Structure 1
Amino acid sequence: MVTINGTPEPERCSVPFWFDPMCPWAWITSRWLLEVEKVRPVRADWRIMSLSYLNLVQRQGEGLSEDYRELMDRAWGPVRVCAAAVEHGGREVLGPLYTGIGTRLHTQRRRKDPTVLTEALAHAGLPESLAAAATSTDFDHLIAASHTEATDLVGLDVGTPVLRVGGTALFGPVVSPAPRGEAAGRLWDGLLLIAETEGFFELKRTRNTRASFD
């Protein structure tokens, strides 16, 4: 492939990125990764994981408040629709579908709007009938397989998002708001250095701000 000025474009590195569509922090990180695509030779490889599966199945609901358990019950719907979409059209449909769902859930704050999933499917050029998967367990085995692919790499004491840089999988980065332009690229550069450091496990500080979707 050649750019407009005649310079060959570098080969893009595929970055597996596991997300739960209900997670606002994963949504912000996903928008950051799309910014990175503009300034670094990377390409997001979208994959699903599930906070519902993590908390209700793998952790068996231990320590969940009543409010959070209710959220986890609702969170099955969007990820089930994503799994049904993958079964229908392959993993390449996840990018536009995730954008459609996330824009409505997070940016537009329509988290309890029943029309979000059908609108997002239409946005992605997928059959609106796939929205019926939200209340079905038919695709839960696909969710479990994709989710377990991520947790086998990073363990059960993290959430979403998870991304893999080369041979290293990491939880995060958790950031708000999403860096744009070259700032996004610099964060990516730092993540590469971390991923290349043998024996690195954790950097963290307490979040003191809400998720910002600006």
Structure 2
Amino acid sequence: MIMGEADRVEVPFWFDPLCPWAWITSRWLLEVEQVRPVRADWRIMSLAYLNLVQREGKGLGEDYLELMKKAWGPVRVCAAAAEHAGPSVLGPLYTAIGTRLHNQRRRDDSTVITEALAAADLPVSLATAAASTGLDELIIASHHKAFDDVGLDVGTPILRVSDTTLFGPVITPAPRGEAAGRLWDGLVAVAATDGFFELKRTRSRKPSFD
């Protein structure tokens, strides 16, 4: 059953459009919205800033370093879209970009951003923001609102449950229906536990976008 809007709890969720794991978790959170009284509050972070600036590129291979240099583009476009139309546009735009990058596997397709902007009813001219540093301070400020709490030894996705900022959940594929709700309930429980820091096991599957 779809929940009413009045009593929903906002869940800040920080994403970089390039991250496949954040994409899967974001689709799970949309499933949670259908079965629990929550609403995603989409916010931007930057894998490029995290890895190239905060971590100074340490331990990264050449291929990943090159990927990070390109990672500024999509998140800059998201920032420009939010400046143009308000933060509520981040959800539809993230869905449009992520569907093309991940589900359609079009990471090397230069038309993804303009297509996604059009799909979100935004001016395609916003694509020029990909090559501009003009909004980087806004991106970095949003980024720090997550990482100043959660720390630098994690990546994305980042979300906040009540007053607790957490990395994850890292899942594949995204649970659907009540299964999504049960995972949310577990996350609420651990977030409410004083002194809780980590649950983890080695990933043995590649991201699945089904």
TM-score over 0.5 for the pair: yes
2:54 maps to amino acid: Q
What does the per-residue CA deviation read over 1:110-140, in whole Å, with 9 as the maximum and x for residues that have no partner? 0010000001111111110000011111111
Query: Does structure 1 retain, via aligned residues, the 8 Å contact 2:11–2:160?
Result: yes
User: 1:9 and 1:79, CA in 2 relative to 1: closer, same or farther beyond 3 A?
Assistant: closer
CA distance in 2 between counterparts of 1:208 and 1:63 reads: 21
Which residue among 46, 51, 58 is the counterpart of 2:47?
A: 51
What does the per-residue CA deviation read over 1:120-177, in whole Å, with 9 as the maximum and x for residues that have no partner? 1111111100000111111111110000111011011110110000010100000000
CA distance in 2 between counterparts of 1:45 and 1:9 reads: 13
Q: 1:47-126 maps to which residues of 2 (within 5 A)?
A: 47-126=43-122
Which residue among 138, 153, 168 is the counterpart of 2:149?
A: 153
1:132 is aligned to: 128
CA distance in 2 between counterparts of 1:37 and 1:100 reads: 19
CA apart distance, 1:8: 7.2
2:177 is aligned to: 181
Unaligned runs of 5+ in 2: none
Is 1:20 the equivalent of 2:47? no
CA distance in 1 between counterparts of 2:37 and 2:102 reads: 28
RMSD of Structure 2 on Structure 1 (CA): 1.5
What SS does the corresponding residue of 1:169 show, helix, strand or coil?
A: strand
Query: Does structure 1 retain, via aligned residues, the 8 Å contact 2:10–2:38?
Result: yes
1:69 maps to amino acid: L
User: 1:207 and 1:8, CA in 2 relative to 1: closer, same or farther beyond 3 A?
Assistant: closer
Is 1:141 the equivalent of 2:151? no
What SS does the corresponding residue of 1:176 show, helix, strand or coil?
A: coil
CA apart distance, 1:10: 6.2
Identity of aligned residues (%): 75
Which residue among 5, 16, 28 is the counterpart of 1:32?
A: 28
1:136 maps to amino acid: S
2:182 maps to amino acid: R
CA apart distance, 1:181: 0.2
Instruction: Give structure 1 regions of 4+ aligned residues with deviation exceeding 3 angstroms.
Output: 7-10
CA distance in 2 between counterparts of 1:204 and 1:10 reads: 35
CA distance in 1 between counterparts of 2:86 and 2:137 reads: 16
Which residue among 192, 198, 202 is the counterpart of 1:202?
A: 198
1:93 maps to amino acid: V
Query: Does structure 1 retain, via aligned residues, the 8 Å contact 2:4–2:37?
Result: no
Query: Does structure 2 retain, via aligned residues, the 8 Å contact 1:10–1:41?
Result: no
What does the per-residue CA deviation read over 1:76-126, in whole Å, with 9 as the maximum and x for residues that have no partner? 111110111111111110000000000000000000100000011111111
CA distance in 2 between counterparts of 1:76 and 1:8 reads: 36
